[in-house]
Structure 1
Amino acid sequence: MRAYNKSRIVGQLLFVALGIAFIYYLFTPSLHQTNVVKPQIPKVDTESIVVYDMNEISASADAVRKKEEVLILTPIARFYPEYWKNLLKLTYPRNLITLGFIIPSTKDGTKVHRELRAAVQAVQKGPKHQRFADVKIMIQDTGLSSGQSEKQRHSLEVQKERRSKIAASRNTLLFSTLGPKTSWVLWLDSDIVETPQRLIEDMTSFDKDVLVANCYKRHNGNLIPYDFNSWVDSDHARNLAKGMGKDDILLEGYAELATYRLLMAHTYDNGDPRTLMELNGVGTTALMVKANVHRDGAVFPTFPFYHLIESEGFAKMASRLGYKVYGLPNYLVFHYDE
């Protein structure tokens, strides 16, 4: 009986020992296991936090020396090789220039995109010192057609709708590309094919909030005024506006809507290119804007703003924010001759 109990006790002890060994084996990693997956502790990437002191961003008359960044913005519905060639002639350091384009998402826009992209890649894949700091291309249904003739694009009856769409396109481009280190924004139309090579240095040297060049075109050896959106207001125009409905707009360059404003295009006299004149309206053929003017809220109204729209509405908005708007009557840029 004692022998039986002794055997029974020994058996129970062995059973318990085996159970403990099994549990130990089950829950304890093997010392010989080499492919154990260790739990990953997430790492905090402190480099993802970037702080910009906006008070340190300058827009001055000494833009090159202070290495001020310039954003050149161009809505583009038709690609002009002459525009691109002229752009490449600008002498401002390319490492301080970002280019921004917006293209319509249409069949014509696809062609424009292909041509523009090829031109951009030829530069950006070239020598590093010749590359732009960045190039951004936006594609959007702008509602604008590149198949219209100049006469169709500028007919009075389509201006309100057309310029509203242009304003919306400009705002999209601006909001999508304006960086925290941008000092200046140069609006340069895609059909501007000739400018002074020091365009950026020249225009920033005036240290003005908003400054527009005078736009002409060369035709059969003659200089023809082109952009009539840069002007000084008149009493007659102000009185016209008072009698208009809230959704009506005033436009320049149309005999049926005479405003008797002083158009900068008509003040060119081949004089000092540094001559300044204060303006109430501007065009965007070659328009230099301090980036803070845009940051403070001056954009391109898509609706009648004091009976003005798009670039002329922008000038009004900038002035309402306390900024001064100027033009250069004897500093010429040239539009493509259609």
Structure 2
Amino acid sequence: MAAYNKERVLILTPMAKFHQGYWDNLLSLTYPRSLIELGFIFPRTQEGDEALKSLEKQVKKIQNPKNKVEERFAKVVILRQEHESLKSQNEKDRHAFKVQKERRSQMATARNSLLFTTIGPYTSWVLWLDSDIVETPPTLIQDLASHDKPVIAANCFQRYMDDKNAPAIRPYDFNNWIESDEGLRIASTLGDDDIIVEGYSEIATYRPLMGHFYDENGDPKTEMPLDGVGGTCLMVKADVHRDGAMFPNFPFYHLIETEGFAKMAKRLGYDVFGLPNYLVYHYNE
């Protein structure tokens, strides 16, 4: 229906590393490219410079004027961050508990810069897609848009080899959650500038996490209401952003970045949902 209505989709990706799997997956999406605009933002680091060069090569190939119009994206915008980023983008370093407030504040600023620079008057949807997402259904955009929700998140998993060296999957993004009594209690004890970050043993909130609700035999269209979201694969109606829902780079009700965005969207009166049985896959380092 979104493609039939010629709804324009803006896919936004903060990118510190370039994964060929991300780009190949992006090209496999079946939504008409003439209705897709792309936006990227890179940190001013050596890794960021390398990632930018790799992306530019791929963009030049696909946006070549010699290609048919339907093979090219409607628009591609590439930005550089004006602020500093964490020096190490290794999975272990960037997910360490002690750096989360700094890291997520920087990420929020980058997301807002990217959003405010690229969103246009005809943008219908904004799809936040992390640069580590290397596998999604080809119908990702149509599938998420078909729910017609203000904010909806896919369930981000990761493929790996288990102890028996057999292929397996596990939940990856734990920022998609439902608020708990313990989460509210902890928040009530914190200082104004303190934040709660989900998925860490240092703070046990006992929030129900969408990653734990996956049912391999369940309906991929099953929805669940959420209070916090991650940014790995998040579809947002453009009007939600236009109404002022952004990514707080400061503690907002003790939340920050994508989880703070969900809180802000809800404070503005928008419902937030997740799809526990609809999987996308994160790169495994």
Q: TM-score, normalised by structure 1?
A: 0.81
Tell me if 1:301 matches 2:248. Answer: yes
Among 76, 92, 97, the residue aligned to 2:15 = 76
Which position in structure 2 is the counterpart of 1:90?
29
In structure 2, the partner of 1:39 is: none
Q: Counterpart of 1:173? A: 114
Q: Structure 2: which 5+ runs fail to align?
A: 162-166
* 1:140 is aligned to 2:81: yes
Tell me the CA shift for residue 108 of structure 1: 2.2
Q: For residues 153-164 of structure 1, what are the structure 2 equivalents within 5 Å?
A: 153-164=94-105
Please say which of residues 151-160 and 138-147 is displaced more in the overlay.
138-147
- Helix, strand or coil: the match of 1:262? coil
Residues 175-215 of structure 1: per-residue CA shift (max 9 Å, x gap): 00000100000000000000000000000000000000000
How big is the shift at 1:140? Answer: 1.9
One-letter amino acid matched to 2:183: A
Which of 45, 49, 71 is the aligned partner of 1:110? 49
**Among 254, 274, 280, the residue aligned to 2:221:** 274
- Secondary structure of the corresponding residue to residue 182 of structure 2: helix
Equivalent residues of 1:77, 1:145 under 8 A apart: no
Distance 2:45 2:215 in 1: 42
- C-alpha RMSD of the superposition: 0.9
**1:335 matched residue in structure 2:** 282
Distance 1:107 1:308 in 2: 30
Following TM superposition, by how much is the alpha carbon of 1:107 offset from its aligned partner in structure 2, in angstroms? 2.5
Secondary structure at the counterpart of residue 257 of structure 1: coil
Q: Which runs of 4+ in 1 moved over 6 A?
A: none
Provide the residue aligned with 1:290 in structure 2.
Answer: 237
Looking at structure 2, the residues matched to 244 and 218 of structure 1 have their Cα atoms a distance apart, in angstroms, of: 36
Contact 1:211 1:327 in 2 (8 A): yes
Residue 193 of structure 1 pairs with residue 140 of structure 2? no
Counterpart CA distance in 2 for 1:279 and 1:200 is: 20
Percent identical: 60
- Counterpart of 1:267, as a letter, is F
Counterpart Cα distance in 2 of 1:78 and 1:274: 31
Q: CA deviation at 1:111?
A: 1.4
Aligned partner (choices 198, 209, 221) of residue 263 of structure 1: 209
Could you tell me which runs of 5 or more consecutive residues in structure 1 were left unpaired when the two chains were aligned.
1-61
- Post-superposition Cα deviations, 1:7-57, rounded to whole Å, max 9, x if no partner, equal xxxxxxxxxxxxxxxxxxxxxxxxxxxxxxxxxxxxxxxxxxxxxxxxxxx
Correspondence 1:326 to 2:273: yes
Q: Deviations over 1:59-91 (max 9, x none)?
A: xxx211110000000000000000000000000
Distance 1:158 1:129 in 2: 43
**3-state SS of paired residue (2:202):** helix
Q: How far is 1:146 from its partner?
A: 6.2
**How far apart are 1:135 and its partner, in Å?**
0.2
1:212 and 2:159 matched = no
* Contact 1:64–1:93 (CA under 8 A) maintained in structure 2: yes
Contact 1:77 1:146 in 2 (8 A): no
Name the residue aligned to 1:51: none
Which residue of 259, 265, 273 maps to 1:312?
259
The amino acid that maps onto 1:245 is G
**1:281-305 C-alpha deviation (Å, 9 max, x unpaired):** 0001100000000000000000000
Q: Which has the higher contact order (CA 8 A, sep 6+)?
A: 2
1:217 to partner: Cα distance: 0.3
- 2:72 partner letter: R
Tell me which of 54, 60, 72 is aligned to 1:131: 72
Question: More deviation in 144-153 or 180-189?
Answer: 144-153
Cα deviation per residue 1:134-177 (whole Å; 9 max; x = unaligned)? 00000124422464321111111000000000000000000000
Larger radius of gyration: 1
1:104 is displaced (CA, Å) by 1.3
Q: Name the structure with the higher helix share.
A: 1
Distance in 1, matches of 2:230 and 2:121, equals 25
**Given that residues 183 and 205 in structure 2 are in contact (C-alpha distance below 8 angstroms), is that contact kept between their aligned partners in structure 1?**
yes
Counterpart contact for 1:277–1:328, Cα < 8 Å: yes
Show CA shifts across 1:220-259 (max 9, x none): 1111110000000000100110010000111111112000
Question: Where do 1:29-48 residues align within 5 Å?
Answer: none
Matched, 1:223 2:172: no
The CA distance in 2 between the partners of 1:77 and 1:107, in whole Å, is 9
3-state SS in 2 of match to 1:255 = coil
Is residue 182 of structure 2 the alignment partner of residue 236 of structure 1? yes
Segment drifting more, 124-133 vs 66-75: 124-133
Q: 1:44 maps to what in 2?
A: none
